[in-house]
Chains A and B, each alone.
Chain A
Amino acid sequence: DGGITQSPKYLFRKEGQNVTLSCEQNLNHDAMYWYRQDPGQGLRLIYYSQIVNDFQKGDIAEGYSVSREKKESFPLTVTSAQKNPTAFYLCASSIRREYNEQFFGPGTRLTVL
């Protein structure tokens, strides 16, 4: 089955700890994205990558970091510098062409205790 997997589904962390969210896709997509979703605020872009070993900041990159060492993987680290990390995090991928559909993973709900 082709798709995007995110793990874990639920994640709890203590304040001051870094945590890494996993995103893997086997769709052979070039581009991958990380979004944050908060109630009533839609989806906001954190980082995106259009090709391996390259990524760009989105609208709310502060307190987050990413890497893109492999085409199929785009992990997101939520650092202790992120002031309000509790949220639903969504990973997406797309073929790198015009008017391309973004496919979303099932999401990871991060709660900071």
Chain B
Amino acid sequence: QQQVKQSPQSLIVQKGGISIINCAYENTAFDYFPWYQQFPGKGPALLIAIRPDVSEKKEGRFTISFNKSAKQFSLHIMDSQPGDSATYFCAASPGQKTSGSRLTFGEGTQLTVNP
């Protein structure tokens, strides 16, 4: 019940294309869903996050879509650029209301954007 399943494991898109990464969860206590971006040899950095009271959140070229009934959420990267090439992790947390702020991460998606 604590798992977050992420797909695909790897993704190759052309410059200017749309990158889509999907995550699914089982634990209904999760109520905070961040996405992290990680470059090789670096620590992850928060990209964008959503709470289940909204179905979509957009920041620049990055959009999270959230489907509470299906327990799924996805990251869309519009107009993908070579500089977006990185590993992306989805995560989920029950926030502080239940078991503290620990995050459960998906397995990661390695995105390559070809020029």
Contact = CB atoms under 8 A, between A and B. Distances in A.
For the residues of B in contact with A, the DSSP-based class is loop
Given A42-B105, A58-B102, A97-B96, A107 B42 contact: yes
Contacts of B49: 99, 101
Contacts, number: 70
Contacts of A33: 102
Nearest to A100: B101
Interface of B: 2, 6, 9, 31-32, 34, 36, 41-46, 49, 51, 89, 93, 95-97, 100-108
Nearest to A41: B107
Nearest to B94: A98
Interface of A: 4, 31, 33, 35, 40-45, 48, 50, 56, 58-59, 90, 92, 94, 96-107, 109
